[in-house]
Chain A
Amino acid sequence: MNESRPPILRIRDLHKWYDDLHILRGLSCDLRAGEKVAIIGPSGSGKSTLLRLLMTLESPDSGEIEVDGQAMWSTTPAGRTVAAGEDVLRRIRAKLGMVFQHFHLFPHLTVLRNITAAPQIVKGIARDAAERRAGELLEMVGLADKANAYPAQLSGGQKQRVAIARALAMDPSVMLFDEVTSALDPELVGEVQDVLRQLAHQAAMTMLIVTHEMQFAREIADHVMFFDAGTIVEQGAPEQIFSAPKEDRTREFLQRVIDR
């Protein structure tokens, strides 16, 4: 990995309040292109909030976010936190893809149209080219035979695999996964994890994976961040975090979730 390149994600002193709840408390971190990062930590620690801020589904109260060297949120000399212009934000967001815990497939569209909608509408890609690409992606997630099915006809695991294909169809360089197996029946978790494993083999793809599956985090990530109370308490290689955590809070958390 080329260490001299600017990080693909650069986050500085990010703060977010929900009314009285200080959910992100000065979060800072860098991600290098191609890095596979797992974010673990108790619920309410700000893991999902970080992804939502990256996707501009919500706005930070203060702090800076840069994607691939372009400022998404920045601080003015007067100390105010401002978003980039609408056009810039859209261009930045096009580099990010997100997969949600609850899939959010479009129920009125077939599997194929779920995948081709954004490339056609947003990028203006021709229908047959979009469909060809969608076919490849469905092949990759093992659902080539479901192209003409509607989301209501699919199992949870199948829905989530379609959602991954849908995000990939926009060719993002960073994929954000927000607890993508948490809403699934236990027997369906494996098929979605398999798709993520496959994706992790692509060297260029940066992945930010919020997960409660510690085994999976350890296996797929080359860097693990432990979130607690709105900051990164500890981060490092999976071996170190899971086998020899330095911080008490990390140790306590891991004991709690792994003993379960």
Chain B
Amino acid sequence: MPPPIDLLPSLMDGLRRTLVIAAGGSVLAIAFALLAGLGCLSRDPIVRTVARVYIEVFRGTSALVQLFWFYFALPILLGLRLDAMLVGVLVLGLNIGAYGAEVVRSAIESVPAGQVQAAAALSMNRWQTMRYIVLPQAILLMLPPFGNLLIELLKSTALVSMITVTDLTRAGLFLRDDTLRTAEVFGMLLLIYFSLSLMITAVMRGLERWLSHGQDYGGRQ
């Protein structure tokens, strides 16, 4: 069987949508993760509670149901109709961001207390300590688990096919109906998702290497 390269052009539109949702969702997820992760460590009990509730709700319910809720229920309840692509970006960002918040929180908490004390002894305030001392060290600890989450997010983009978006997966379903080349179409889908996740892994590895100078012996001079 020759490689089904001829199928690719028909999948391109779907791939483009998948990439847009994955990229937009990733940016949102990282932003929500940082906000909620830092929120958990806030001195303000209201901020802490808001962050906790967000994390528990979006971690504790199914991403698919969240998509349905934002796409089908919100228009009925609030008269708010959002574009399906936008819902995809928003829900995946919120969902993965909730997991990411726990990654951010635990990474920040695992920076040794002595680092914070040393910063305090140098008169840095809480914000300066976080920005210049704690976060740069914590980010390194966040990278590997964040790589996992972004791959998870990429794969979850297939769920948006359930709210009318013709993403890569839905484009594949259509293409199978048209061509009846089931094994080849789904084989292509597997291959494309796999290549994309390999790219995420490569980027995260690169980031880790780039940021880890100085943390250990033989750092960048």
Contacts and interface: CB of A to CB of B under 8 A. Distances in A.
Nearest to A89: B123
B124 A152 contact: no
Given A121-B128, A121-B132, A148-B221, A107 B137 contact: yes
Given A121-B132, A152-B214, A152-B217, A170 B122 contact: yes
A169 to B, nearest CB: 8
A55 B120 CA distance: 8
Given A100-B117, A106-B133, A108-B137, A166 B122 contact: yes
A110 interface: yes
A249 to B, nearest CB: 31
Contacts of B219: 150, 152-153
Contacts of B114: 100, 102, 104
Interface string A89-106: 010011011101010111
A55 B121 contact: yes
Contacts of A57: 117, 120-121
Interface residues of A, number: 32
Interface in B190-215: 213-215
B214 A117 contact: no
B123 A118 contact: yes
B122 to A, nearest CB: 4
B217 A106 contact: no
Contact of B136 (A94, A102, A108, A149): A108
A90 B214 contact: no
B89 to A, nearest CB: 33
B63 to A, nearest CB: 35
Nearest to A52: B117
A90 B136 contact: no
Contact of A104 (B118, B128, B136, B217): B118
Interface residues of B, number: 26
B148 interface: no
Contacts of B221: 148-149
A122 B128 contact: yes
B124 A122 contact: yes
A193 interface: no
Interface in A128-174: 148-153, 163, 166-167, 170
A101 to B, nearest CB: 9
Nearest to B121: A98
A247 B133 CA distance: 46
A56 interface: yes
A153 B220 CA distance: 11
B214 to A, nearest CB: 4
Contact of B121 (A97, A102, A109): A97
Contact of A107 (B117, B121, B125, B214): B214
Contact of B120 (A56, A108, A110, A148): A56
Interface of B: 112, 114-115, 117-125, 128, 132-133, 136-137, 140, 213-219, 221
Given A109-B214, A121-B128, A151-B214, 19 more contacts: A55-B121, A56-B120, A57-B120, A57-B121, A90-B123, A90-B125, A93-B120, A93-B123, A94-B123, A104-B112, A106-B118, A108-B215, A117-B132, A117-B133, A118-B119, A118-B122, A148-B221, A167-B121, A170-B122
